[in-house]
Amino acid sequence: MGGVTSAELPRRNRVCAGSVSAVVDLDAAIGFVVAHGDAVERARLSRLRTGAPTPPELLEMAEAGQSPDGGWPATLDGDVASVDATCFRLAELDDLGALGRPAARKALDWLAARQLADGGWEEDESLAGVAPSWARPGDPEARFFLTANAGYWLAVAGRDARAGGPLDSRVGGAYAGVVHGAAEALAGQLGPDGSWPSFLPAGWLSAAVFHGQHRYDESARILVALASRLPGMSAADAAWLAATLRRVDLDGTHPTMLAAHRRLAETQRSDGGWESDDGHQFDVHTTLAAIRGCR
């Protein structure tokens, strides 16, 4: 693949501490992606582990199917861009170091323009018949999740100053005002105990938005709630959580991160990979998220 092999990594980078008795085997995880990933997934691995530049043809492959307005449709033959699908593509492009390319900038501008007056996001009504349960138009839980997801990617891109839009000295960078609105919308629905009225992933996405906005009280409340749920989390959820929180520089020694690493160590398979909740065709994606969370 022209990418990374486990032999190239210093030994100190090959394990991710979860507890005294359980560690993630990153050598095995890397081997799983090399053996089972496609060209784009192997390029994501190489970028994550060594910072190696992604070949232009693979970047174009990862960007394929973008709608003229800037988002990506939920289905290959769709013609209406989806907030959920666009956030998923941005996660792939982030692994490839491509958030500064025109396709990602256009997608981020599209997301920013899609923000509603109350600071939230919702899928287009025309997607009601095809949207998954977590993104269904008109569902308050889906609205909260999409707000956390879109707010997270705009926060990441804006903070890195790799996105389109004017630079802004406020916390949040290029999309500071948009992300502030998202944080306000999320905070208005957060419970005193850190609970949130939506699906599980909305918790860590919201915590990441708050952390990036320096709203540490809201973030801390959610993180405590997440830590209590980690012992029973699926491998895919633990990987997504760890990857999300590390992306906004939550310290790897934070109790919630340590709990996530323990869960990843407990759920890693003998072949080095982790099981996706969406079918085995996404196991490599889940494994890449686990590697990102442990880097």
Between 2.60.40.10, 2.30.31.10, 3.20.20.140, 1.50.10.20, what CATH number should domain 15-24+65-294 receive?
1.50.10.20
Can you tell me the mean pLDDT for 159-163?
52
pLDDT above 60 for 225: yes
pLDDT above 90 for 116: yes
pLDDT of 164 reads 42
pLDDT of 161 reads 47
What is the rounded CA–CA span in Å between residue 119 and residue 273? Answer: 38
DSSP state of 6: G
pLDDT of 130 reads 87
In tens, the pLDDT along 46-72 reads: 999 999 999 999 999 999 999 999 999
pLDDT of 173 reads 59
- Work out whether strand 15-17 and strand 23-25 pair parallel, antiparallel, or are unpaired: antiparallel
Contacts of 98 (CB under 8 A, 6+ apart): 54, 59, 62, 63, 104
pLDDT of 75 reads 84
Q: Flag the least confident range among 28-32, 73-77, 131-135, 250-254.
A: 73-77
Query: What is the average pLDDT score of the chain?
Result: 88
Percent of the chain with pLDDT over 90: 80
3-state secondary structure of 237: helix
pLDDT above 60 for 269: yes
Can you tell me the mean pLDDT for 36-45?
95
The residue that leads in pLDDT, 217 or 21, is: 217
Q: In which band, very low, low, confident or very high, does the pLDDT at 15 lie, cut at 50, 70 and 90?
A: low
Contacts of 162 (CB under 8 A, 6+ apart): 99, 100
pLDDT above 70 for 186: yes
Can you tell me the mean pLDDT for 78-96?
93
pLDDT above 90 for 11: no
What is the rounded CA–CA span in Å between residue 40 and residue 92? Answer: 9
> Domain-by-domain residue ranges, the chain?
15-24+65-294
pLDDT above 50 for 4: no
Q: Flag the least confident range among 104-113, 116-125, 153-162.
A: 153-162
pLDDT of 1 reads 33
Both tokens of 170, joined, read: 């406020």
Q: In which band, very low, low, confident or very high, does the pLDDT at 282 lie, cut at 50, 70 and 90?
A: very high
pLDDT of 20 reads 38
In tens, the pLDDT along 188-215 reads: 999 999 999 999 999 999 999 999 999 9
